[in-house]
Structure 1
Amino acid sequence: MSVRVRDLLKLPTLSRSHVVAGEAGLDRVVSTVSVIDFTATSVAQRELYQPENSANEQLLLTSIDQNNYDVVTDCRQIEQLAKNGCVGMVVYYVGDKVPTLPPKIKETADQLNFLMVFAQETQKNLSYSAVISEIMFAIFQDRMRHPSFAPTIIGRVSAMPEYRRSVGEVLKLLAAEIDASLAIIDNQGGILYRETWPKDTAVNWENLLNVVEQININGELPVTTTDGMKITHWQLPNSPYTVLIISRQTVTNLTCERVAETLQTALNLWGNQSQDDENLIRAIIQGQVVRAAQLGRQYRFDPKDTQAALVVSCPNNVNKSKLKKWVDQLTLRIAGHMISDWYNDQLIVLLEKSPSYQEWQSWESGFKKDDQQLTAQCVVVSATMVDGFGGIQRLYQLVSQYMSAARTILPHRSFFNQADLEFARGCQRELQEEGTEVIRWQKRLDAMQHNLVETLLTFLLDTPQNIEQASDLLYVHRNTIKYRLNKISNRFGFVPGVMPESFELYQALGVHRLLRGNEEADELNESNK
């Protein structure tokens, strides 16, 4: 695909628009378009424009009022959209004339090569649907003319966080790109990777494997199943592997070549996990569904039955074999059937039954009593209701992305649960977006006495609302804690810790710690220069 913003600005619906910022982004590739209310901060938008959800190479359409700029918030929005891979936006206006772009917003867009295009003033009656139709038709035509999508898809996966860079991710993007289900077949006739598209399509992969040798390779007419699905079998270049393509429509030979080329590149980059690899955890996290099922049968542990999990993060110099043995011994006391292995310097433990609260507490106590001091600097995340493959992958992504934020918000903890990481994710997003509520709460905290803020942080985040523990951490008498909490209650109009009144307060305190942690890190970096 090679449709660039420069090409799109030649379309009839965009030809009279003009670039106002981020001109260096004119040569960026566009693969999709959508509409965004740039001035809104709804829950749906906040969820959509997160790194794991937003689309790369996306052009946005929006409208603004000529007097509706919030420079600080708008700059934050542009930074977040650019970070998530959006190319830029076409801005339509509400009013009698095209608004002037504030210098600070232009400066931000120019620095990030985030293109901002203003629609022509006389195009008042132009609808979003007309623009979207023209853009998507141009992209569709380009795909038909140039189906070499390997660089784009490999580039998109390469830009993902490390834990998502895998052949499985490439397969997902390819399946959506050509609207077909795909499977990579090894030289023994077994499935290495597979992806069903659309997701609700029923594909009997076992039956397909029984007839795969009867399907001619490369260039012959595809076999058609009884339900009308067409099956194409194609050789990967310079490889004993092949790819099965199952679709409603006949896939052209050129598209098959491009699919094979893309998959071979992905295997070269991320397919070094051979069939001799016995690590079930790796197979699950990297989306090797078939391999994971095979290893699951070998270990008599079905990943789909996973209900709970542990992720143990340790220093690089820890004795991994000894630590794994210690964790396995502890876990077997509370779980009838479990499996564990190392993945990227983290020990991941999967359990078929979810332990009770008392059993988790017992496990934590036992972990702390390690005689060999293996666990001294380890951090543990426990999770219940993991619910199979997807749940394991989501937990790992959560730990990879938000463990650092959780440790900043809860610095006295070495044991976390999944809810702690979800809380850290919410605080991190609020900080990135810097919405009205975040600013309002930070102003309230900044206006308070330092000792009152420290009491709130300690009482609500560091202790389970325990006055005795809070007094120990702050080195003050418990009556002092009571006095401060009473003073805070009178100030806020509610008792800190009582829900739901304290919901925003908890999040504000989490954001406050993240802000303070970032400021301390910046100060440290400055001092080291």
Structure 2
Amino acid sequence: MKTTLSDCLSLPVFADAKVLAGEDMTDRPIRYISVLEAAGVDDIDMEGDNPGTLEGYMLVTGFYGIRDDEKAQCQLAEKLAEVGLSALVLHGVGKIIKKVSDALINTCKEKGITLIAVKSSGGSVAAEMIEQVSHKLFYGAGDKFDDNLLTSSIYHLLNFEKYPDFPTAVRAAAEANAFQLVLLSSDLNPVLSIETQWKTTVDRAVMKAREKAVEKRRSIYTMINVDGVVTYWGSATINGQEYYMFVADNNDSYSIDEIIKLADIIELSIGMWKYTPASDSRSEFVKALRRGNVSTAYSRKEDAGIEEVKIISVFVGKSQYPEEILVAMDRYCAENRFVNVQVIERDEIFGILMAGHENCSVSMCAKLYDEIKSIGGVKISHVTGIDGVEGACDAFRLINENTKAASTVFPFKRKFSKYDLSLVAGCNRIQSEGGFIKKMYLKLLDPFLADKSQKGRMLLDTLETFVLDAGMNGSKTSEIMEIHANTVQYRLKKINEMLGVEITGNRVIPGLTVALALNRLEKRDDERRTR
């Protein structure tokens, strides 16, 4: 059963403790205990943590670094309250902290933290608190696991005569004991979902799990509060394949160790039933699109729950930490009612966006990709405005074949749209075919190459930066090249004179853009040949 703050205060180590604030909140559950010490309030960096991060935490501190600084103590309490701290225990009162200030007590009352003072009695009080509270958290009020949860679950999970299969058995166990079970593929797509209440959704749970970086903590069980539903995340191995598994405690009735025991029993029963989860149809559908396998995509479409007409965009992102892309996408899609289906492979993430309602638009997709490109170290290519399954396959092909070359043509860009990729695709074809067309485009740059002085090279570099990197913006050109804006304007004037045209003219810029892009691809290939 769950352990409350009141249960903890009944332990021997708290015999001389006094609750100074939050006396009316001692019925709240405690799930973790830890020690906090800091040389100053600036050492505690809570930036980026979400509300609820420390929910269920009891923190033990002696305020060693700020024992004489009431203001810093209050600031620390406020920071801890912002991320949901349940209880703050001050040990060594009278020795480390001579007296608990009224300001700190009032801050804790105002911010909803239960403040507990424990007088100094010699010895390692903090260590005793950790030992006794940890024991209470593991074994609960009765110093043993709750027989009802485990015994009842075993009765259903291993009742081979009563139930025809594992999903039926685990549903009966879940309904009898007020829990929920979801198995997910390595891409966090559900392959088995046993839901017994509907306070939130599996998609919301997955979004919260990504925010907590659950992919990096598979070996331990992680508690995540999802819209008031307490979930515990871990992993399970089924037929040699790794899955994610989370158990939701509907009524917040069980300790974390009971849930871990339950998860072990569930994994054991999966093997005894010889159960194999359904394939991850959503991931297989996206992978088929990426490979250009139209027939496989169509065969997986219905099982994946994909409505072809709702596919609005495909994307491929690359990052050292692709989970960051997923977290940003999940948050944006939840706010704007898009549905995202994606796959992570090593440092790459790819997938599709689908319209979740009639107001989802191409421009809204573009805004999402603008947000993603602002994440450090991320490059993303997308094709938005898709015509069904075949259109999605074509879009992935455009991305697959041209993203590397796009990085050469647009080295300062971190987001490539279908317009960038189409330009590069055309240049790739011209370059590979060679002949008259390629020659004619490159001859547009002859005036610069004919000038053997440094001036010709300098003007060509400026033109490339202005057209390909700066979007024909003089100020941005100045910034990229680290030269004065007046210098840019002077060079652009000279370029106009050298070419005999106004380079920003509507009839000039298309051909000039292709010529400059081709020139960059040619330079890349020349460098490769000389290595």
Scaled by the length of structure 1, the TM-score of the pair is 0.42
From the CA coordinates, give the structure whose radius of gyration is larger: 2
Scaled by the length of structure 2, the TM-score of the pair is 0.42
